[in-house]
Structure 1
Amino acid sequence: MFFSVARLRLPLASLLLLPALARAHEDALFTSSVTYCAPPEAILVQQFDVAYFAANSSVNFNISAASVLPNLNVSATLYLNVYGMQPVNLTVDICSLFGGALCPLPMYNFVGWDSIPLPPSLDVASKLPGIAYKIPDLEAFAQLTLVEVGTNEVKACVQSTLSNGWSAHQRGVEWTTAAMALLALVAAVWQSIMTDALALLPVRLLDLIYLYQTIAASGLLGLNYPVVYRAFTLNFAWALGLFAASPSSHIQNSINNMRHLTGGNLADASSGGAVPLVNRKMSPYNLPPSNTFLAPQSLLARVASLPKMDLVKRGVEHMARTTVADNKVLVGGDVATVTPQSSNVLQPGIPIYVNSIGIATANAFMTIFLIGLIYAAIVLAALALAYGVAVWLGRTKSGRNSDRLTDFRQEYAAWARAWGLRAVLAAVIPVLIFSFYQWTLKDSWLSVLLSVITLLAISAIVLYSYYLILRTAVQARSSPSPPAPSPSTIPLAAPYAPHRAWYIVPLLLAVLVKALVTAFASSTGLAQAVIFLVTDALVFISLVIFKPYRTRHADILMGFLGIVRMVCSGLLIAFAQSLELKPIPRVVIGIISAIIFSVAVLVMFFNIFVNMGLWRLLTDVICCGRRRRAGNRALASNPSHHGSDPSILEKGGSAGASQQQVNRPGNPTPPASESLTPITPGSEWSAFTDTTGTTTLGEPLPRRWSFQHSRPPSASAESPSASSPQSPRWSGTTSPSTYLSALPSQRHSRRVSSSAPSPIEPIDEHCAPEEPA
C-alpha cells in the first residue's frame, strides 16, 4: 500500500501545481488583429497594438501612423468591448503624449509606444471578470477613434481584436487526433491480414474518420459561431483535407496563379486570417451591421512620400524616406489590409472557416483536390509496398512454410480492392461538400471542371459498390442459399447483419443531404441547422428500430454516436443569427458542444484500444503484477518456506499460505514377482490390482494429486471398460488427458484440512469406477 501511494505523489503534486502554473500566466489582453472601422482619409494607421495589464491596470500601445493634413489636432477615444460588455470607454488627450510631439499631428510616418495608467475612477478591474483572462478564444476588441478637435469629425478609426493567449485550436490536439487515426490504421491493416475479411478494426477506423469529419463539418454552416467552437472544429480540419497554410505556401500560391489564369477573380487569402474581415455583427465583434473599409490608393501614395519620425527617441526626427507598397499596408503587426480588388467581408460558413487557416475561399476545393492526389498516391504506394513485402517474405524459409502468408498472397487482389474502397469512402464527405460549394462560386472554369470530374469518379466507385451490395441483399431474400458478398465490397457489408445490408442506403442519403445543405444553403444558417437536426434524428430512429449492425455492442456504440450527432446538431440552432442570442450564452453552448464531441472521440479511441487487445494486455500485466506482489508478501511473512523448492517460489508461493507442508507421496511400485492386470483408470484415482483382485496401493493420495499415468493394457489382458465402445472416456481417439481436461473443475482450498486424503474403497475389477459428482 505504501508503494502504491508513493507512486501517486508525482501526479498529485502536478495537480497541486496546476493552479500555480495558471497564475504564472500573466493576466493581460493584447491585440490579435487590426482593421479599419471608418474610411481612412487624412490619417493612415499602419500598425496599432494595444495591451491591457490587470496587474497595474494600465494600457500599453504601439502605433505606427501617418498624417497627410497640416495643422490637424485630434483627440483619441479608446473603447473596449468584451462579450458585449463595455468596461472601458475613455478619451485621451493626444497633446499630453510624447511631450506634445503629436499636437498637431506631424506630416510624417511616425511610430511610437507608451503606457497609460488608467484612472482609478474607471475601475476596470471590477468590470472585467477573472475568467476573461483564462477563457480560450476571447471575444473582445478595442476601438481607437481619432476625432478632430473643434469639428468632431472622425479622421481615423481602427478596431483591434484582443486575445488572452489561450485558444481551443492547438497544434498538439491536431497531432494527437492524427496519431489516434494512424494507430487505428496500422492496427486495422494488421488485423485484416491476420484474421478474416470481417475484421472489426477496419470498420472502427472508418467510424473514427467519420466522427472527425462530422466535427469539422459542423463548423461549415452559415451560423454565428462563437470563436471558441470554430477554433475547436479547426482541430479536425485535416480530416477534410484542409491543412493550415502560410502566406508563402507554394500550394496556395500555385492555386492562386491557376485561378487567375482561368477566369478566377475572387480574393486570395489574407495573411491576417479571417477574424479582421468578419462582419461586425458576428463574433468576435457582436455589433450591429457595419462595413470594413479600405485604404484609398491616393492616401497610400501620399503616405509613401512622407519622411519617418521615431517618437520613442523624443524629439529626434529620422527624416529618412520610407516606401509603402501600394497594395499592402501593415496593420496590427504584419497583418495586411484588404486590397481594392478583393471582397472586404467574409461570409459565415465555409469562407470564414477556410480563411481561418490561411486558405482562400476560392481555393478550398482545389486544396482538397491536390491533397486528394497526394492521398491517392500514398494509398497506391502503400498497397504496392504491402505486396512487395509479401513476395519478399514468401521467398524466405519461414515464409515458404507459412500458410497465412500463402493465403494472403492468393487473396491480395481482393484485399487491396477492399482497402482501396475504404480509402475512397474516407474521401466522400469532403469531396461532396467542396465540389458542390465550388459550383456556387463561379470563379475559375478549371476548378469547376476538376470538381465535376472528381465527383463523377468518386460517385462511380461508391455507387457501383452500393449496387453490388444491394444486389447481393436482394438475392439473399429470394434464394435459400444466399451468396456471399464480393470481397471488394466488404468495407460496406462488414458492419451490418446480412439481412440489414440495405441500411447503407439511408446513411448515404444522410451524407448527401448534409453536403447539399452545407454547400447551397449557406445564406440561411437556421435552416441548415434544422435540416441537420432532422437528418440526424431520422438516422438515430432508424438505427433504434432496425438494429442493423452485426452485434448488440455495435448497435449500442453507433446509437451513442447517433445521439452525439443529434444533440450537437440541436445545439447548433442556438448559433443562428436570426435568434440574436447573447454572446455569453452562445459561448457556453459552444463549449458544451465541444465537450460532447471530445467525449465521443475518447470513447471511440477507447473502443479501438480495446479491440486492439491492448486493454486486455494492460489488465493482464496489472493483475499478474498484483498476484506476484501478493505471493512475494506471503512468502516474506512465512520464514519456514525460505528454504523450499525454488519451483514453488516461482509459482507465486501458492503453498506458502499454509502453515504445514503436505508432502506429495510417490507412485506405488507393484511387486515384481506377481503379474498385474491393468484396470480402467478411475476418474480421480489410479490403482493397480493383482490377479487375486486385491488392490495394491501406496499411501492414499489427496484429490489434487489424483492423476497418475497408468501402465498401458496388454493385448492378453484388457480391461472390459477400456474395450467397451460405450465408454465416454476412451471412445474414438480421445486421450486420457483430453478427457480429464473435460471434467468439471473443482476449487481446492489451501487449508490443510480441506486437502487431507480420504479413505478409499477397494475397486472391483468387474465394476466401473464411480463418476465424480
Structure 2
Amino acid sequence: MWFSTLKSVLLVSWLSVVLPAAAAEPMLVSNSLNTCQEDSMFTASLFKVVYTPNNNTAFLNIVATSSVEGSVKFDIAISAYGYTIIQTTIDPCEVGLAGLCPMTAGKIPLKFNLPVTDAAASQIPGIAYTFPDLDATVRVFLNMTDTGKSVACVEADISNGKTVDLIAVKWVLAIIAGLILCSSAIINGLGHSNAAAHIASGALSLFGFFQSQAMLGLTSIHLPPVVQSWTQDFQWSMGIINVDFMQDIFTWYQRATGGTPTTIFDSLTTVSVQVEKRALAGAPKAAVDLYRRTAQILPRGATALLKRANVMTGSGSYIVYGIQRVAFKAGIESTNLFMTGLTFFCLLVVFTIGAVAAFKGLCELAVKQKWMKGDTFLEFRNGWLTVLKGILFRLTLIGYPQMAILCLWEFTQVDSPAEVVLAVFFIVGMTGTLCWAASKVIRIARRSVAMHRNPAYILFSDPQALNKWGFLYIQFRASAYYFIIPVLTYTLIKSMFIAFAQGSSTAQAIGFLLIEAGALIGASVLRPWMDKSTNSFNIAICAVNFVNAIFLLIFSDVFNQPALVNGVIGLILFFLNAIFATVLLIMVIVSTTMVFYRKNPDTRYQFMADDRASFMKSQSQLPGTTELDALAATARGDKAGYKHGLDLDDDNESISSASLRRRTDTSTLSMPTAAPVGAYGRNNSLNNPPRSPVDPSTPLFPATSNPQRAPSPYNGSVASHPSGSPPSYRAQNNASPWQRGAGYD
C-alpha cells in the first residue's frame, strides 16, 4: 500500500510538470538590465522585455537614465552558455526607435511594441524556447556614431520561462523523505531493529545530501541559471518555504520588535531586481559611485536591503545574491528569511510531538478494542516518552544545518533585536544539546569498554539509552561511536562559511573545497558507518559533494576562464547531481519497499561486525524476560541489581550535577568485587576470569515438548546447582551465550 501511494504521488507530480510545459506559449523574457562597463552613461531602473515568436513582436517597458547626448549605434552580441551566436549592429535612426535618435540626457521612459523581422527571428534556434533555465545574455555597447567610442555597456539575461525549479519536484522529494523516516520508525517499533537501522541511516544520508544541494545555492558564488534553479528545489530542506499569510505575520513581528522590513516585491513594478551571478567584488565601480544617489531614489525598504547586502547599484535597480538570491527566488522578503526557517523548524517539532502522542493513543485504543495484538509496538507503548525524546534529538540533528546557517546569518543582518535574541537562543541551545548528547554517548561507550572491553555492549543492550541517544551512533559501527563529533564540526564550519563569507565568493569556494576534501578523506579512510554498503553509500555522497566544491571554485572565476567554461560546467553539475539524486532515491525507495514484503526484514541485511544484534533484546520476544534481564544486569555489573536505564542515562541530572563527576570517576567503572556465591562462585574478583551466571549443565531452553521451567540460576544459593557446587570456569572456546561477542572471548 505504501509503494502504491508513492507511485500515485509520482504520477500526479509528473503530470503537473509535463502538461503546463507543453501548453505554455514559447517566449523569451528579460527582467533586468545590468551595467557591464565602468562609468557607464546609460542605466535602467526598470527593464522588461518579452519576445513572442508566434507574432514576431517584442514588448519593451524600460525606464532608463542616460547621460549620452548625440547619435549612437548599438553593437549587440547574443551569447548562450558563454558562446556568441549572434553579433550585429543597429542604428536606432534606421529602425525608428523614438527617443533614441538622437539620444538625449535625462530620464527616458520607453514602452512600446517592436516588430521583429523574419530574418532576425530565424537566427534564434528552436531549443532556446524549450531548454529549461536558458543561460543566454544580450550585451549592448552604445558607441558614438562620429567617434566610435563606447560610452555605455548594458547586458540583459534572457529566460524562456522553462525551469527545473518546480513545486511538484519539491513536494515529491519532501514526501519521499518523510515517508522513509516514518517507515524506519514503524519497522523499529515492530521489532526489526536491524532493518530499521539501515533504513534510518539511508534516510538521514539522503536528507543530508538534499541539504548539501541547498547549501550550494546559498553561497554567493557565481551560479549558472540551471544550477540556481536546481538548488532551489532543495531549499525546503532548509525550512525556506513561502506561505503568504505567514510572511505577513513575520513582517508585522519585525516591525513590532523594532526592525525595518524590506519591500522588494512591492516595488517590482517600478524597480528591477538583478539576480546577480557574483558577489560585490563583481559589481562595477560606477555602481559604487552612484550609491548615494540610489539610496535617495529607492523606497525605504529597498534602501534597507542595500545596506544589509552591502550591494550598490545605480539608477534605482539593486542586486540580490547568495542567501538573498534564494529568498528572492522563493518569493520571500530577505528580512523574513530567518523567521521563515525558524518557524518551520518549530512547526516540525510540534507536529512530530503531536503525531507520536496520537500514535501512542491509537495503539492503546487498538489493543483495548482487540484490533491489534497486545505485544504489537509493546516496547514503544511502554517507553514512548523515551522514544519521543530520542525523536526530538534526531529532529535537532536534522535541523541543525538549517538553523546554524540562518542563526549565524542573522547576526550579520540584525533584522530586529528580538530576532537576534532568538538566533542566539537557538544556535547556542541546539549546539549545546547536540554536544551534550554526544558527550553522553562517549561516556556510555567508555564505560562499556571499561566493563566489557566492547563499546557496543551497553550502547545496544540498554533499550532506554538506545532509544534516546541511538540517533547519534546507530548509523556508525560501535567502535566509531565518536564520529558524531566530526559530523557536527563539519556542519558548523560549513555553516560559518556560508553565513559569514557572503561578501567573498572566493573565500567561500576555497573553504568549501577544503571542507569537502577533509570530509571525503575522513570518510574513505575511517569508513565509520555500520557496514560496507552503508559506507559506500555515504562515501559516494561525500565524493559528489567534493566534485561540487571543485565546480564552485571554477564558478568563482578564480582561474579567469572563458564564460563558455562556466556554461558547460553548470550543465555538467546539473546532470551529475540530478542523476546521482535519482539513483539515491531509487536505492532508498526500493530498499524500504522490500522490507514491507519480507516476513523477517532483518534477514535482508547482514549482521554488523560489532555484534550489536546479540546485545539488543526485545522484551516481547524473549521468554522468561525477568530472569534474563536479571542475568543481563549481572553481566553489565549493575551494583543494585537490574536497572533498566543504567546510571549513565538519568534524566533528572543536569550537565553540572555532582553525580556526573561521580560517574566519571574510575572507581565507579569497576565491576563489583563480591557477588552471590551461587552466581559467580566463591572467589570472584577483577583478577579472575569472568564467570557466566548460567549453569552450563542446565539448558536455558529445554527441547522437550512439555518442558518444566528450570530453576533460575540467579537465586543466589549453591544448592540451586544439580551438582551442589558452583560451576567451573569455561574454556575460552566455550564461552557463555551472555559473554559471546561482549569482549570476553
What's the TM-score once normalised by structure 2's chain length?
0.64
Counterpart in the other structure of 2:237 = 239
Counterpart in the other structure of 1:745 = none
Counterpart in the other structure of 1:91 = 90
Counterpart in the other structure of 1:172 = 168
Counterpart in the other structure of 1:11 = none
For residues 66 and 524 of structure 1, the distance between their equivalents in structure 2, rounded to whole angstroms, comes to 30
Counterpart in the other structure of 2:431 = 459
Given the alignment, which residue of 408, 414, 436 partners 1:436?
Answer: 408
For residues 551 and 40 of structure 2, the distance between their equivalents in structure 1, rounded to whole angstroms, comes to 40
Alignment of 1:384 onto 2:357: yes
Alignment of 1:415 onto 2:387: yes
Alignment of 1:113 onto 2:113: yes
C-alpha change, 1:101 and 1:473, in structure 2 (3 Å) is: closer
Given the alignment, which residue of 395, 418, 423 partners 1:446?
Answer: 418
**C-alpha offsets along residues 369-422 of structure 1, whole Å, 9 cap, x if unaligned?**
1222222221121122112212211321244x4212443311212221221122
Given the alignment, which residue of 187, 191, 197 partners 1:195?
Answer: 191
Q: Taking every aligned residue pair, what percent have the same amino acid on both sides?
A: 20
C-alpha change, 1:263 and 1:159, in structure 2 (3 Å) is: farther
Counterpart in the other structure of 2:621 = none
Counterpart in the other structure of 1:204 = 202
User: For structure 1, which segment, 147-156 or 597-606, has the greater mean C-alpha deviation from structure 2 after superposition?
Assistant: 147-156
Shift of 1:262: 4.0
What secondary structure is seen at the aligned counterpart in 1 of 2:459? coil
What secondary structure is seen at the aligned counterpart in 2 of 1:612? helix
Shift of 1:279: 4.6
Given the alignment, which residue of 529, 534, 555 partners 2:514?
Answer: 534
For residues 204 and 33 of structure 1, the distance between their equivalents in structure 2, rounded to whole angstroms, comes to 43
Counterpart in the other structure of 2:334 = 361
Aligned residues: 562
Alignment of 1:258 onto 2:260: no
Shift of 1:466: 0.8
Shift of 1:242: 0.4
**What letter is aligned with 1:386?**
F
What secondary structure is seen at the aligned counterpart in 1 of 2:452? coil
For residues 414 and 423 of structure 1, the distance between their equivalents in structure 2, rounded to whole angstroms, comes to 14
For residues 34 and 268 of structure 1, the distance between their equivalents in structure 2, rounded to whole angstroms, comes to 20
Counterpart in the other structure of 2:158 = 162
**Aligned ranges for residues 350-749 of structure 1 at < 5 Å?**
350-399=323-372, 401-480=373-452, 482-484=457-459, 486=465, 487-614=467-594, 733=704
Counterpart in the other structure of 1:649 = none
**What letter is aligned with 1:81?**
I
For residues 95 and 236 of structure 2, the distance between their equivalents in structure 1, rounded to whole angstroms, comes to 51
C-alpha change, 1:415 and 1:34, in structure 2 (3 Å) is: same
**C-alpha offsets along residues 565-585 of structure 1, whole Å, 9 cap, x if unaligned?**
222222221111332332222
For residues 322 and 98 of structure 2, the distance between their equivalents in structure 1, rounded to whole angstroms, comes to 48
What secondary structure is seen at the aligned counterpart in 1 of 2:558? helix
Whether the aligned pair in 1 keeps the contact of 2:274 and 2:320 (CA below 8 Å) is: no
Counterpart in the other structure of 2:319 = 346
**Aligned ranges for residues 730-769 of structure 1 at < 5 Å?**
733=704
C-alpha change, 1:617 and 1:117, in structure 2 (3 Å) is: same
**C-alpha offsets along residues 76-107 of structure 1, whole Å, 9 cap, x if unaligned?**
84734324537244334468649999999999
Counterpart in the other structure of 1:182 = 178
Counterpart in the other structure of 2:51 = 51
For residues 527 and 101 of structure 1, the distance between their equivalents in structure 2, rounded to whole angstroms, comes to 43
C-alpha change, 1:115 and 1:563, in structure 2 (3 Å) is: same
Whether the aligned pair in 2 keeps the contact of 1:28 and 1:52 (CA below 8 Å) is: yes
For residues 42 and 503 of structure 2, the distance between their equivalents in structure 1, rounded to whole angstroms, comes to 37
C-alpha change, 1:570 and 1:455, in structure 2 (3 Å) is: same
User: For structure 1, which segment, 84-93 or 532-541, has the greater mean C-alpha deviation from structure 2 after superposition?
Assistant: 84-93
C-alpha change, 1:298 and 1:108, in structure 2 (3 Å) is: farther
Counterpart in the other structure of 1:724 = none
Shift of 1:210: 0.9
Question: Where do 5+ consecutive residues of structure 2 fail to align?
Answer: 1-13, 303-310, 599-701, 707-745
**C-alpha offsets along residues 221-241 of structure 1, whole Å, 9 cap, x if unaligned?**
231111211111000000000
**C-alpha offsets along residues 155-189 of structure 1, whole Å, 9 cap, x if unaligned?**
99975432123222122221221121132133123
C-alpha change, 1:528 and 1:26, in structure 2 (3 Å) is: same
**C-alpha offsets along residues 249-272 of structure 1, whole Å, 9 cap, x if unaligned?**
333343334334545457444465
Whether the aligned pair in 2 keeps the contact of 1:48 and 1:160 (CA below 8 Å) is: no
**What letter is aligned with 1:235?**
D
What secondary structure is seen at the aligned counterpart in 2 of 1:427? helix
**What letter is aligned with 1:79?**
I
**What letter is aligned with 1:239?**
S
Shift of 1:217: 0.6
**What letter is aligned with 2:49?**
D
Whether the aligned pair in 2 keeps the contact of 1:142 and 1:159 (CA below 8 Å) is: yes
Shift of 1:59: 5.5
Counterpart in the other structure of 1:218 = 216
For residues 286 and 325 of structure 2, the distance between their equivalents in structure 1, rounded to whole angstroms, comes to 17
**What letter is aligned with 2:354?**
A
Counterpart in the other structure of 1:82 = 79
For residues 314 and 421 of structure 2, the distance between their equivalents in structure 1, rounded to whole angstroms, comes to 25
For residues 62 and 295 of structure 1, the distance between their equivalents in structure 2, rounded to whole angstroms, comes to 28
Whether the aligned pair in 2 keeps the contact of 1:60 and 1:115 (CA below 8 Å) is: yes
**What letter is aligned with 1:258?**
Y
Shift of 1:501: 0.6
Shift of 1:326: 8.0
**C-alpha offsets along residues 723-761 of structure 1, whole Å, 9 cap, x if unaligned?**
xxxxxxxx96489xxxxxxxxxxxxxxxxxxxxxxxxxx
**What letter is aligned with 2:458?**
P
**What letter is aligned with 1:453?**
F
Whether the aligned pair in 2 keeps the contact of 1:279 and 1:291 (CA below 8 Å) is: no
For residues 547 and 95 of structure 1, the distance between their equivalents in structure 2, rounded to whole angstroms, comes to 70
Shift of 1:22: 10
**What letter is aligned with 1:445?**
P
C-alpha change, 1:606 and 1:299, in structure 2 (3 Å) is: closer
What secondary structure is seen at the aligned counterpart in 1 of 2:207? helix
What secondary structure is seen at the aligned counterpart in 1 of 2:530? coil
C-alpha change, 1:46 and 1:603, in structure 2 (3 Å) is: closer
**What letter is aligned with 1:451?**
A
For residues 528 and 297 of structure 1, the distance between their equivalents in structure 2, rounded to whole angstroms, comes to 29
For residues 443 and 216 of structure 1, the distance between their equivalents in structure 2, rounded to whole angstroms, comes to 23
For residues 369 and 520 of structure 1, the distance between their equivalents in structure 2, rounded to whole angstroms, comes to 19
For residues 399 and 24 of structure 2, the distance between their equivalents in structure 1, rounded to whole angstroms, comes to 41
**C-alpha offsets along residues 101-124 of structure 1, whole Å, 9 cap, x if unaligned?**
999999998753231327x5xx78
**C-alpha offsets along residues 13-51 of structure 1, whole Å, 9 cap, x if unaligned?**
x9xxx9xx9999877533344568899999988664242
Whether the aligned pair in 1 keeps the contact of 2:278 and 2:321 (CA below 8 Å) is: no
For residues 125 and 397 of structure 1, the distance between their equivalents in structure 2, rounded to whole angstroms, comes to 74
**What letter is aligned with 2:116?**
I
For residues 581 and 376 of structure 2, the distance between their equivalents in structure 1, rounded to whole angstroms, comes to 34
For residues 103 and 525 of structure 1, the distance between their equivalents in structure 2, rounded to whole angstroms, comes to 41
For residues 350 and 452 of structure 1, the distance between their equivalents in structure 2, rounded to whole angstroms, comes to 19
For residues 223 and 404 of structure 1, the distance between their equivalents in structure 2, rounded to whole angstroms, comes to 52
What's the TM-score once normalised by structure 1's chain length?
0.62
For the aligned residue pairs, the C-alpha RMSD in angstroms reads 4.8
What secondary structure is seen at the aligned counterpart in 1 of 2:476? coil
Structure (1 or 2) with the larger CA radius of gyration? 1
Whether the aligned pair in 2 keeps the contact of 1:241 and 1:371 (CA below 8 Å) is: yes
Shift of 1:428: 0.4
